Amino acid sequence: MIIARSPLRITLGGGGTDLPSYYAEHEGFVIAAAIDKFVYVTVTRPFRAGIYLKYSESEHVEQVTQVRHPIIREALGLLNLRTPQIEITTLADIPAGTGLGSSGSFTTALLRALRAYRRETVEDRALAEQACDIEINRLRKPVGKQDQYIAAHGGISCMTFHRDHRVTLAPLRLARSTLLELEDNLLLFFTGFTRAAGDILQDQQQRSQSGDAAMTANLDYVKTMAYQSRIALELGDLTRFGQLLHEHWEHKKRRSAGISNPNIDKWYTLAMSNGAIGGKLVGAGGGGFLMFYAADRNRLRQTMAEAGLEEVRFRFEFEGTKVVLS
């Protein structure tokens, strides 16, 4: 049996500029961090012939082309596993649709597990690119590249998305004291809503491709704030980082009416009055997790708990997609 795992992620700045519809014309920049919440994929050889899949549904088919799960079907096809005798099972610490990049994490874990099953190795960059190829090129999903890259590499990275589709990574250079303070004061609260990011990202993609000036200006500004966030974080100015999170959220909401809703707005306002310096919804929007940088984390925790929001505590994860059992 092979078990592989990939970390989920939070975005600290620049989200949305990693979509090809934007960076192919303007170049993107994102700061993302892997966290110690994981997607797991197991691969084993069953006693009977066929393809056995267990995720939120179950499948038993004979041919790769019959697989309903699109990412699994494309991964098996990419690796030329045409008529395998194989069983694949998936599970996760946090469900999909919560804005933590689970699709990219799943794809990288699946590819790593399948490679290990075939006794093959693959470098982190190649793994990330294969995952991007499946989601963006083969399945035509309106997603960016940050999820696959941060899952494959782990850590806290500044990623530049070049016009020629290359991705360069540089570590965010944090002092040890800043890293610990950031980790302690970044808080995640589940809104109770899950959502598929596709509709919001599809709208962004279509508007970017059509040359929508307002969308381009919004993403240009978000990218500028990400550069400013990098400077603030590397200088240890976490108050400024929190203020930039708030500014980013105000601009992000203007991209689409579906990004926020009255409940999210209410909780956000409550948090800002009770210990938060700034925050945003992680991911495309519409649900998932609210993330705040707190000046008074105990007050913020108590306030959000009283409002009925569950906190998910986390630490940064400095290992990327890996095989944990073989």
Q: Got the DSSP string for 280-310?
A: EESSSSSSSEEEEEESSHHHHHHHHHHTTPE
In contact, 145 and 103? CB cutoff 8 Å: no
Are β-strands 85-92 and 50-54 bridged in parallel, bridged antiparallel, or unpaired? parallel
Alpha-carbon span 218 to 115, nearest angstrom: 40
Say if residue 195's pLDDT is above 70.
no
What percentage of residues in the chain have a pLDDT greater than 70? Answer: 96
Q: Where are the alpha helices (DSSP H) in the chain?
A: 20-26, 70-78, 102-117, 124-132, 146-153, 176-185, 198-209, 213-235, 238-252, 262-272, 297-306
The DSSP 8-state label assigned to residue 256 in this structure reads -
Say if residue 97's pLDDT is above 60.
yes
pLDDT at 196: 60
pLDDT at 84: 79
What's the token pair of residue 122? 């693959």
User: Phi and psi of 20, rounded to 5°?
Assistant: -55, -35
Q: Going from the N-terminus, what domains does the chain have, and what CATH number goes with each?
A: 2-173 (3.30.230.10), 176-312 (3.30.70.890)
List, for residues 230-268, the tens digit of each pLDDT value. Answer: 999 999 999 999 999 999 999 888 887 778 889 999 999
Closest C-alpha among 142, 150, 144 to residue 39: 150
- Torsion, Cα 193 194 196 200, to 10 degrees, reads 30
pLDDT at 62: 94
Global pTM value: 0.95
Region 13-18 average pLDDT: 94
CB atoms within 10 A of CB 162: 12
- Torsion, Cα 14 272 307 179, to 10 degrees, reads 50
